[in-house]
Chains A and B, each alone.
Chain A
Amino acid sequence: MREETHLTHPAPAVIDLDGLHALIGVLRDRGYCVVGPTRRDGAIAYEEIASADELPAGWTEVQEAATYRLERREDDARFGYPVGPHSWKRWLLPSRVRLWQARRGDGGATEFVEEAPPERPFAFIGVRSCDLHAIAVQDRVFLEGAYVDRDYGARREGAFLVAVNCGVPGGTCFCASMGTGPRAESGFDLALTELVGDEHRFVVEVGSDRGAEIVSDLMGDPATPEDIDAALGVTHAAVAQMGRSVESFDLRDLLARNVEHPRFAATSERCLSCGNCTLVCPTCFCTSVDDVNVLADGGAERWRRWDSCYSQDYSHIHGGSVRPSSRARYRQWLTHKFGTWIDQFGTSGCVGCGRCITWCPVGIDVTEELAAIRVTDGEVDHANN
């Protein structure tokens, strides 16, 4: 996590709906591009919003394997749903970004001009604990290795994170068993817990100096012990309602010794290799580069775009793909996410958000898959190996 909660941060405050409006207004006034949840195309998406009016008040999501729909709530909670198909990688690691332009000068000299980062820093409203962990997972990949990704670094550096604690886990959520939620512990500038009752209010915890500065503009009151208890109660209740769980102990070794397990062939019969899971997963980071000519001026550009280990030529070397079968590609994704990611980057790649289960068209459930392998640990697929 990039920022830690220090004891020196101000004590939690309480703001009301006007305070929430003011928070977004203050961030916009300070030049942030405010991105938050809003209803779009039958889902709750993360888009740029101009005010708190655009939040999906009174809506919730019903999620199950291969199922997602919006439903009306009985109250008008602003954050009464878990996570939709978008994750914050949409903004930190955009699906298409130009990396540089190359121009041929006189005498054959070639100049490479790096792309400038976005002008406005981002303020993310409504970052769930699982997604905070996902951001930290991607930080390790792009900022903490031998090389820093300049574009990710620039976007990440300036990003102001307003976390929101979960009261309503989705049917596919399993953050509790992955140790990534539902309570936001660190890595945020501010964390809100929404309390809908007699008074619709938000308990605001401060996680950074930047957060403290913003809160001081909001005319909130100090949170009472009852407010804080109520806020803790929200996430305790969420733990109890978690839709799924994973026995995450020893997953790396379990998967490493079961690379030839028959479950991979069996499940890959259902898998369409559509890559939905990799698109919605908040930690999946694979990209490809496209080198293109610019016909107009004889220059060239390099673009980076999202890619997926499910695509046929993802693993292509001269001679063919290393993983031509759907079985191998499904195995790659599952074993990387829960196993070899730990070898490569020191953390699990999964944050238990459940998006892959919700958005898989055939409802492949990673929690079920892992449990099945654990129960038949050591079985070998003789037909396919």
Chain B
Amino acid sequence: MQTIDQLVAESPVFEGLAPDRLELIAGCAQNVGFEHGERLFREGDPADTFYLVRKGRVSLSTHAPARGAIVIETLDPGEIVGWSWLFPPYVWHFDARAVDDVRAVAFDGACLRGKCETDGALGYELMTRFAAVMIDRLQHTRLRLLDVYGRDSDS
């Protein structure tokens, strides 16, 4: 099983960061586990943590009256859960739940935010990497919006 240092060094989202930065980030991280069905975070809660999935599947969902729970997206090993820790109002927009037994690395976003405020270069580097994650998610979300399989659309 990889150490947190190894995971952080190999994760695409931290690629290209200098070793001292990687060490800093790893220093803000710890291993966590969730049983299937357990919630990682709740919509509306303060967003001070983000996760890197090591094992298992995490779902992002919301709840609508009469529709019940709607799963927006699932995230698998190697994927990052959460960017709301980096942007005001630092609040979660969705529920995150463990679909099965999940092992993840939890990063102290509040601590990293503090460090970014004093170290602008670090802030820039983290911002660009998380922006890339968001763009990727946005593109996929746009495709889902197109509802290509719908009855009245081209299918």
List chain B residues, Cβ under 8 A from A319.
Answer: 152-155
The DSSP consensus for interface residues of chain B is loop
A319 and B153 alpha carbons, distance in the complex (Å) = 5
- What secondary structure prevails in chain A residues at the interface with B? loop
Closest to B152 in A: A319
Residues of chain B contacted by A317 (CB below 8 angstroms): 154
A2 within 8 A of B: no
Interface size for A (C-beta < 8 A) is 3
> Chain B contact residues (Cβ within 8 angstroms of A): what range?
under 10
| B155 cross-chain contacts in A, Cβ below 8 A | 318-319
A320 CB to closest chain B CB (Å) equals 8
> With a CB–CB cut-off of 8 A, which chain A residues contact B154?
317-319
Contacts of A318 in B (CB 8 A): 152, 154-155
Q: Find the B residue at minimum CB distance from A319.
A: B154
Q: How many A-B contacts if CB must be within 8 Å?
A: 8
Contact residues in A for B152 (Cβ distance below 8 Å)? 318-319
Shortest CB–CB separation between residue B152 and chain A, in angstroms? 6
List CB contacts (< 8 Å) of A291-324 with chain B: 317-319
C-alpha gap A318/B155 in the complex (Å): 7
Q: How many angstroms from the CA of A317 to the CA of B154 in the assembled complex?
A: 8
Task: State in angstroms the CA–CA spacing of A318 and B151 once bound together.
Answer: 8
B153 contact set on A, CB distance < 8 A: 319
**Nearest chain-A residue to B153 (Cβ)?**
A319
Chain A residue nearest in CB terms to B151: A318
Q: How far is the CB of B154 from chain A (nearest CB, A)?
A: 5
Query: What is the minimal beta-carbon distance from A225 to any residue of chain B, in angstroms?
Result: 67
> How many Å lie between the Cα of A319 and that of B146 in the bound state?
13
CB contact list, B99-155 vs A, under 8 A? 152-155
Chain A nearest Cβ from B55, distance in angstroms: 42
CA distance in complex: A319, B155 (Å): 8
A318 and B152 alpha carbons, distance in the complex (Å): 7
Which residues of A in the span 304-351 have a Cβ within 8 Å of any Cβ on B? 317-319
| A318 to B154 CA separation, bound complex (whole angstroms) | 6
| 0/1 string, A243-280, CB within 8 A of B gives 1 | 00000000000000000000000000000000000000
Closest to A322 in B: B154
**Bound-state Cα–Cα, A317 to B155, Å:** 9
Closest Cβ of chain A to B150, distance in Å, is 9
* A319 CA to B151 CA, complexed, in Å: 8
A319 to B154, CA, bound (A): 5
Scoring A residues 212 to 254 as 1 if CB is less than 8 Å from chain B, else 0, what string do you get? 0000000000000000000000000000000000000000000
B147 shortest CB reach to chain A, Å: 11
Cα A87 to Cα B111 in complex, Å, equals 83
Q: Digit string of A353-374 for contact with B (CB within 8 Å is 1, else 0)?
A: 0000000000000000000000
Bound-state Cα–Cα, A271 to B146, Å: 33
How many angstroms between the C-alpha atoms of A319 and B148 in the bound complex? 11
Shortest CB distance B84–A (Å): 37
Q: Nearest Cβ distance between residue B35 and chain A, in whole angstroms?
A: 45
A319 to B149, CA, bound (A): 11
Q: How near does chain B come to A47, taking the closest CB pair, in angstroms?
A: 46
Q: What CA separation (Å) do A226 and B41 show in the bound complex?
A: 102
Interface residues of A (CB under 8 A from B): 317-319
8 A-B residue pairs with CB within 8 Å: A317-B154, A318-B152, A318-B154, A318-B155, A319-B152, A319-B153, A319-B154, A319-B155
Q: Which 5 A-B pairs have the closest CB atoms?
A: A319-B154, A319-B153, A319-B152, A317-B154, A318-B155
Chain B interface residues (CB < 8 Å from chain A): 152-155
Contacts A317-B154, A319-B152, A319-B153 known; list 5 others, CB within 8 Å.
A318-B152, A318-B154, A318-B155, A319-B154, A319-B155
